[in-house]
Amino acid sequence: MVNRYLVEQVFSYFGLVFWSLQLAPQAYKTYRRGTSTGVSVWAMLIWTSAGVFMGVYNIGLGVAIALWIQPQIFAFIACICLFQEFRYQHKWSQATMCIGFVLSCLFFSGLEIGLIFAFKKAEQVENQGAIHFFGILPVVTILGGFLPQYYEIFRDKRVIGISHLFLTMDFFGSIFSTISLAFRDEIDALDLANYIAIACFDVGILVLYYIFEWYHKRKGTTNKDSDETRNSGELSHDCETAPEIKTVPSGEKLDQGL
């Protein structure tokens, strides 16, 4: 007999490690490169908000403690990535960036606390519409955060600046969190759908990376072949139009001269 509570707790901590820290490799990659090119500022802004909404819903549902902590760390690192965008793309000074980061953290913390009280109030009065609204918010914002990133990928026809380690951790964190939620006594469909959809979007970005890499390599090979063909055609054309030089035997020259 499987101990459902034990499975829920164990996989929630796996999800905590992978999902909450997923953006750390992205933040480090951006810092190491000294540029956030290829990373959508809108994606990071939406994901920061999404971490707040997911934290409210997970705390409100009373899921495993690890899944309470998970969105908080995720939102914190997403906020770091957001202000890296302002630093590298919009050339904010370091002081301005730090002040903005601290104020944003305070704002999002206050927003989450207020929304948790609102969720508990909705539970007390048994307002199912409000409870479902709190469940839909993280789904919409988490998945909506992928849309600006996908837009940049299709616009540039290339996946640049996105850490593969981030995508891998996000994928496995979502899978572990899904397993944890699936072993709860009361399974919440919205929470499950959220994590499953995240895993699918992560796989989509990885697939697009290899598709566009293949596309650019093929395009480069085609351009090289066409250049070689054009150059060889020009060479043959020059050979055809070059004047023909005839050599006359010395005997003929002697006869004509006589």
Query: pLDDT per residue over 111-124, tens digit each?
Result: 999 999 999 999 89
Domain holding 124, by residue range, is: 4-216
Report the pLDDT value the prediction gives residue 256, as an integer from 0 to 100: 39
User: How many structural domains compose the chain?
Assistant: 1
Q: Does residue 257 lie in a domain region?
A: no
Q: Does residue 168 lie in a domain region?
A: yes
Find the mean pLDDT for residues 155-170: 87
Q: Does residue 73 lie in a domain region?
A: yes
**Cβ count near 65 (within 10 Å):** 14
Report residue 187 as tokens: 């399974």
At 235, is the pLDDT very low, low, confident or very high (cuts 50, 70, 90)?
very low
Q: Does residue 33 lie in a domain region?
A: yes
CB within 8 Å of 78: residues ≥ 6 apart: 23, 44, 47, 48, 51
Whether 144 contacts 44, CB under 8 Å? no
Q: Does residue 225 lie in a domain region?
A: no
Find the mean pLDDT for residues 170-192: 87
Q: Does residue 171 lie in a domain region?
A: yes
Q: Does residue 255 lie in a domain region?
A: no
Q: Using CA atoms, how far apart are residues 92 and 76, in angstroms rounded to an integer?
A: 19
Q: Does residue 59 lie in a domain region?
A: yes
Residue 251 pLDDT > 80? no
Whether 180 contacts 67, CB under 8 Å? yes
Average pLDDT of the chain, as a whole number: 83
